[in-house]
Amino acid sequence: QVQLVESGGGVVQPGGSLRLSCAASGFTFSDFVMHWVRQAPGKGLEWVAVISYAGSERYYADSVKGRFTISRDNSKNTLDLQMNSLRAEDTAVYYCAREASNSWYWWGQGTLVTVSS
Amino acid sequence: QSALTQPRSVSGSPGQSVTISCTGTSSDVGGYNYVSWYQQHPGKVPKLLIYDVTKRPSGVPDRFSGSKSGNTASLTISGLQAADEADYYCCSNAGSYIYVFGTGTKVTVL
C-alpha cells in the first residue's frame, strides 16, 4: 500500500529555517516525480515545488523560489523540503504528493508549519 | 504562475447538476490536456476526481465529469448528493513539471 508520511513541521520564527521530510513506502520511489503542495489555514491549495525522478530537475513556485530547496534520496525513499527565510505567509499545512498521469492520487497527511514570533 | 480562476461558490439541490468552471490561459489550461480536479472535505486530504481533463480514477463515480474548451476547464457534478458538499480545486500543468491550482470553489447542497 502506498504511504507518504510527512514530518518536520512546527513553530518557527520569521526568518528562520525548517526542514520537512516525507517518507515514502509501498512503491518504487525512484519511478515517480514528487511534489510539495501547501495549504494555508482557511485558504486554497498552492503548488510549491517538484523534483524529477533522479533529482536532476527541480522547479519552484515563484512565492518560494530562492528560499526553498526540494531534494530526494532514492536510496532512502525520502523527499525533503528545506525552507529558509520563512515568512508568516509560509504558514500552512505542507503535503507531499506522488505524481502520476499529470495529477496526484496519493497524498501524505500533511505537516503543519507555523511561522510566528 | 497566477492561480486559475474558479467561482467562489456554487450550489444546487439534491439530484441537480452543478458545473464549476476553471479559467486559465494558453500557458496552462489552454496549452495542455493536463487538467485535474480535487475534492476536499474540511480537515481532509484532497481527493483526485478527474485527471487529464476527462479521466476518472477507479472508484470515482461517473456523476463527476470533466471537460475543457479553450482556456476554460469545467467539472460537472450530476445527481448532486449531500456528500458532495466540499471544496473543489482544479489544477493544470503549466509547462515542464510545473503546476498551478485554481482558487477553489465551495459546493453547497441546499
Residue B1 has pLDDT above 90, yes or no: no
Contact map slice: B 31-50 vs A, CB within 8 A = 32, 34, 36, 38, 40, 45-46, 48
pLDDT at residue B96, rounded to an integer: 85
> In this complex, which of A62, A95, A105 lies closest to B57 when CB atoms are compared?
A105
What DSSP state is assigned to residue B4? B
Cell triple for residue B83?
A: 456528500
DSSP letters spanning A89-112: GG-EEEEEEEEETTEEEEE---EE
CB < 8 Å to A50, chain B: 97-99
pLDDT, tens digit, 9 for 90 and up, residues A40-85: 999 999 999 999 999 999 999 999 999 999 999 999 999 999 999 9
Q: Which amino acid, B52?
A: D
User: Which residue of B lies nearest to A110 if distances are taken between CA atoms?
Assistant: B45
Q: Could you say which residues from 56 to 75 on chain A have a Cβ atom under 8 Å away from some Cβ of chain B?
A: 57, 59, 61-62
Interface check for A95 against chain B (CB to CB < 8 A): the answer is yes
Per-residue confidence (pLDDT) for residue A26, from 0 to 100 = 97
A7 near B CB under 8 A: no
Cβ-count burial A45-83 (b if 16+ within 10 Å, e if not): bbbbbbbbeeeeeebbbeebeeebbbebeeeebbbbbeb
* Whether the predicted pLDDT of B44 surpasses 90: yes
Chain segment B60-90, per-residue pLDDT in tens = 999 999 999 999 999 999 999 999 999 999 9
For residues A25-46, average pLDDT: 97
